[in-house]
Amino acid sequence: MKTITFVRLSISLLALIPVFVQAQPTMEHVEPGFWWTGMKSDKLQVMLHGKQIATYTPHINYPGVQIKGIHKLSNPNYLFLDLQISPSTHPGKFEIRMLQGAQQFAIPYELRAREKGSAQRRGFGPSDAILNLMPDRYANGDTSNDSLPGFADKLDRNDASAGRHGGDLKGVRDHLDYIAGMGYTMLWPTPVVENNQQTYSYHGYAVTDYYKVDARLGSNEEYLQLVAEAKKQGIGVIQDIVLNHIGDGHWWMKDLPGKDWLSYDSEFVPTYHARTTVSDPYASAIDKKNYTQGWFEVHMPDMNQNNPLVANYQIQNTIWWIEYAGLAGIRADTYGYSDPVFLSEWSRRVMQEYPHLTLVGEEWSDNPNLVAHWLRGHKNANGYVSHMPSMMDYPLHDTLRKALVAPENLHSGFATLYEALVIDLLYPQPSSMVLFEGNHDVSRLYSALDEDLDLFKMAITYVATMPRTPQFYYGTEILMTSTKHRDDGAFRKDFPGGWADDAVNAFTGAGLTTRQLEAQAFIKKLLNWRKTQSAIHSGKLMHFAPQDGIYVYFRYDQKRKFMVVMNKNATEAELATTRFAEILSANAKAKDVFSGQAFELAQKMKVPARGVLLLEIM
């Protein structure tokens, strides 16, 4: 009996004794999931995310790869490894072995070979024409991904403002021939990475996974396929990224690495959008902090880029996408809202790896001083140094739209457009600035110009012939309309022909009005002509003060000379050409690029009413 009692007691006691045999952690995230040998920087930081992963000690046994540092955070589910990769390291697969006493498991990792010439890839510039489009609203090439399990925001084409409409990467890929045929050489889709938000996810600016393409748009592999097929058509791809904030559906939000991963210790404090604070010598410290650390809105938490782990994560993510996808450039959304010190380091390190790549930032301001602050080579009074090759030219964009609809006098209309170009003194390389007629955040050009086709043609010609890198918005070529006031749904309507049941097909021209076909043909001819014109790409500019509602400027180099004449008058005008003697020879002749009409420029010329001429000087 005693023995039986003892055994029973022992079993009962054993049941109460905790067993310290820990199950192997499930690795939820390893980011970046792979890297490359032969990079300019020999440093790589790998984030490991898994249950209690910080209780393990990592080891690597692979020639040329060393663990130089380990970072443990307040959350034991994260571990950051600082790796050094020797220049002599060969591509290959290896294991990161995780040890905890007698227990161990392996995390597979890979170093890939870089594509030949990757570091020297060409970015975009004034010889290009960029098309900005929103994949969800462009074309639905794969209906099977319209609504997927695990994504709360479902398809709703009846909701123009916030609903997903089903456009995807395959839809874009299916129409690359149209895009190339129109004359575009660069493609800028709005962000393609995962935006698994409860609502309003179609636009892409609330990231929930930095390393994964949104499944409703396609897959990482389909994105690579889009880039590869675009290259075959002579089109580079620019990736739109968001450094400033994430979406509150990001997987981090369920298991934050630490309170300091997000700004204001992960508590919602809205930014007051005081964008001048980054360069204002009189700005208070509290306003400066609020601008760059305040949350964009409650569903868009602000990344704390003062945390070096956050900063490095984002820098590596940008480099990873460039290398992985073979990108031609990066467009950085809400650029100035990020920490300025971080932005300097981000731009420096990306350009260090890809010295000929183009990065363009969004500083949504009509104040050229604010835009110039971020440009490489601009001398800032506060000593700030940036490495950004380009910024979106909001000041000139805004002036162009206003000037075309304003009455003509000494202080209005073309006069403001003429005077606006003095801002080029602020820009170290004006031609690298991206001048756009429209994008996903502003009213449609045709509507902004009161649906005046003549003014529309002037605007398009101006954007395409200024010493800038021109960018156009999908649907501009078919005179898509919108409200003039801010209305995202109106600005982002579906492109006709992108859905199987569309009554109008802009890709084929079926159902377009005569006016739409005229605008489409106009842009197509202009952009395809532009491809081979060195005077437009890199030539000089000379312009003459507007008189009597007529504005004239010249683009020229040692090979060719072009004269642009814009007339806002309702009647034909006679233009004295002797005024342009310093650039026109006495008996100059010209031919209009659009119509082929010949012009004698010896003394005077007739300029059509409400017209624009693009003359090649013979």
Q: At 270, phi and psi to the nearest 5?
A: -70, 145
Look up tokens 């006709």; give the residue.
496
Give the residues across from 247 on adjacent strands. Answer: none
Q: How far is CA 407 from CA 204, 456, 459, 543, in A?
A: 39, 16, 16, 20
Helix (H) or strand (E) holding 350: helix 340-353
Instruction: Out of 214, 362, 393, 437, pick the active-site residue.
Output: 362
Dihedral (Cα; 336, 340, 344, 349), 10-degree rounding:
-80
- DSSP letter (8 states) at residue 592: E
Indicate the SS3 state at residue 444.
coil
Burial class (CB in 10 A: 0-12, 13-18, 19+), 369: middle
Helix (H) or strand (E) holding 346: helix 340-353
Distance of CA 227 to the CA centre of its chain: 15
- DSSP letter (8 states) at residue 290: H
441 part of the active site: no
Residues 142/170, Cβ–Cβ less than 8 Å: yes
**DSSP characters over 303-341:** B-TTSHHHHHHHHHHHHHHHHHHT-SEEEEETGGGS-HH
Question: Using CA atoms, how far apart are residues 323 and 488, in angstroms rounded to an integer?
Answer: 32
Q: At 542, phi and psi to the nearest 5?
A: -135, 125
Residues 6/228, Cβ–Cβ less than 8 Å: no
Give the residues across from 155 on adjacent strands. Answer: 164
362 part of the active site: yes
- What is the DSSP pairing of strand 65-72 with strand 43-50? unpaired
- Which residues contact residue 178 at a Cβ distance below 8 angstroms, ignoring those fewer than 6 apart? 507
Question: Using CA atoms, how far apart are residues 593 and 613, in angstroms rounded to an integer?
Answer: 8
Long-range contacts of 509-513 (CB under 8 A, 24+ apart): 512/478
Instruction: Out of 333, 339, 424, 437, pick the active-site residue.
Output: 333
Query: Which residues are the active-site residues?
Result: 333, 362
